[in-house]
Structure 1
Amino acid sequence: MAQWLEIILRSFSFLIMLFVITKIIGKRQISQLSFFEYVAGITIGSIAAEVSMVRERSVFDGFVAIVVWGLVPLLAGYIAMKSKAFRGVVEGSGTVFIKDGKVFEDNLKKEKYTIDEMLSLLRKKDVFFLEDVEYAILEQDGSLNVLLKKDKRPLTRSDLQLVPINEKEPHTIIMDGRLLIEALAKSGKTREWLNEELEAAGVTMENVFLGQVNSYGELYIDVYDDQLQTPTPQERPLLLATLKKLAADMESFALSTDCKKTKEMYAKNAEEIQQVIQRTQPYLLS
């Protein structure tokens, strides 16, 4: 067999082997490398490269070595799940950099971070003023999590005592001009509804690059032609405007009638509609 062909076959075989090992190890080990996972990854790559290029190396021996090293992070992960002490030794623990607005210089030195590096991590969290930080901790994976002081945090709906909004996940129902039937069913919509929405937008399904149904059941579409402007959903603003108009009409009717009973009925209806507007406005304006 020609040398170049043998190298191709060896490389392709180890590529498949590495893919299988990676799938077995799982996504967590890919995104967050522990000490064992880091060492095993380097060693596996070295073994694959060595056996792929050196014809004297046994392919079978290379497979065995990769399997052994692939099992190392799995075994370490299993022990870490069962033993907190082992998990602390292998994965480490978070290090507090800032607490109650005070920087812990000793912890910075322990983790070999300079103040400039810490400030850089803070800027990545959109924090530019150290005084705004209540608590900051360096996680095991090297990321910095920051808790701002109460008066520096963004306002939430609970701060304003507004009704919380529980949004459903969006569903991508059109991709590359093709309908995703399963996603359409999960969104609770039908093909008839989709065809009506596309017709109202003046596009065909083949012209849609991406189509999603948001948590309010509205259709968002992005077409291939970037120059084509598609209308934005108007159902919620229209509903809010209709409710406000209805409340104004009720108040007008109450003022225009001389019948006391009828006046009270219209005034009561106007008040009830105003209450509905107050409860639904956060949803209709979001």
Structure 2
Amino acid sequence: MPSWIEVIIRSTLLILGLFFITKLLGKKQLSKLSFFEYILGITVGDIAGTLSMDIELHVINGVVSILIWTLFPIIISIFSLKSKKFRDIVEGKATTFIQDGKILEENLRNEKYSTDELLEQLRKRDVFNVSDVEFAILETNGELSVLLKKEMQAVKWGDLFPDGSSDKVPLTVIMDGTYLNETIYSAGYSIDWIRNKLKLKCANVEDVFLGQVDSSGNLYLDYYDDDKQQ
């Protein structure tokens, strides 16, 4: 068989294989990539490109290598969905950069983030004064989330009927059917208080996928069973 025909066959099969792998990994891989996912994409692409062009390489060895690199993140994703602690180790935690209009310099240093980089990210969100920011949080994917102070936000329907309360970031108190004790107690609440809220809603913590408490003390629940009413 001529070498150019073998290259065409190899390339076609690898393209189809990579398409299948992308579908298998899910849509998350198409959005913001984590550090490990970025390395995975480069490595798998390099293996596929080398395998398609170098006809002296054994196809089976290359396919095995690609499968190993593909299965590893799938296994990590499965464990991450089952364990919050494992997910924190692999993906890290969000870091607060600005709180109540004040820059938390120590958090910037821990994330190797310069002041210029922070100001640049704020300007991309049309924020030019740090004092206008209520919260700025660096997410685990490297994206900076910004919450402006209430007086600096665009006018909403609720602003026409102010109750005098300031906006606060909702606290996640339940995740994957488990109480987040550290968050609950650091916010001044207790497990018993959350349990009483659950009783009022006739809900069990094991049935809750996500639970958040807003600044007014209201508990929002998202159930595993999507048909269950709030």
TM-score if structure 2 supplies the norm length? 0.67
State whether residues 36 and 76 of structure 1, in contact with CA within 8 Å, keep that contact through their aligned partners in structure 2: no
Name the residue aligned to 1:229: none
How much does 1:96 deviate? 0.6
- The C-alpha deviation readout for 1:73-129, integer Å capped at 9, x for no partner, is 111000011111111111011111001111011111111111111011001111111
- Contact 2:102–2:130 (CA<8 Å) still a contact in 1? no
- Per the alignment, residue 110 of structure 1 pairs with 110
Could you tell me which amino acid in structure 1 is paired with residue 148 of structure 2?
L
C-alpha offsets along residues 20-50 of structure 1, whole Å, 9 cap, x if unaligned?
0000000012213234423322221121112
Aligned residue type for 1:43:
T
User: Greater helix share, 1 or 2?
Assistant: 1
Q: SS in structure 2 opposite 1:116?
A: helix
Query: 1:116-155 maps to which residues of 2 (within 5 A)?
Result: 116-155=116-155
More deviation, 53-62/35-44: 35-44
The equivalent of 1:51 in structure 2 is: 51
Match of 2:27 in 1: 27
- Report the Cα offset of residue 17 of structure 1: 0.5
Q: Is the 8 A contact 2:101 2:132 kept in 1?
A: yes
Alignment partner of 1:159: what SS?
Answer: helix
Question: Could you tell me how far apart the structure 1 residues matched to 2:138 and 2:34 are?
Answer: 15
Number of equivalences? 162
- 2:157 counterpart SS class: coil
2:7: which partner in 1? 7
Checking the alignment, whether the CA contact within 8 Å between 1:91 and 1:140 is kept in structure 2 is yes
1:1-286 to 2 correspondence within 5 Å?
Answer: 1-161=1-161
Higher relative contact order (CA 8 A, sep 6+): 2
Letter in 2 for 1:97: F
1:57 Cα deviation (Å)?
Answer: 1.1
Greater CA deviation, 34-43 or 62-71?
34-43
Deviation of residue 137 (structure 1)?
0.5
Unpaired runs of 5+ residues, structure 2, are: 162-230
Identity over aligned pairs, percent: 51
Question: Does the CA contact (< 8 Å) of 1:101 and 1:135 recur in 2?
Answer: yes
Contact 1:34 1:90 (C-alpha < 8 Å) held by counterparts: no
Distance 1:9 1:146 in 2: 49
Corresponding position of 1:187: none
Coordinate RMSD, CA, aligned: 1.6
With structure 1 as the length reference, what TM-score do the two structures score?
0.54
Structure 1 runs of 4+ off > 3 angstroms? Answer: none
- Alpha-carbon distance in structure 1 between the residues aligned to 2:34 and 2:144: 17
Tell me the distance in 2 between the aligned counterparts of 1:39 and 1:145: 24
Structure 1: segments with no counterpart, 5+ residues:
162-286
Q: Residue type matched to 1:160 in 2?
A: L
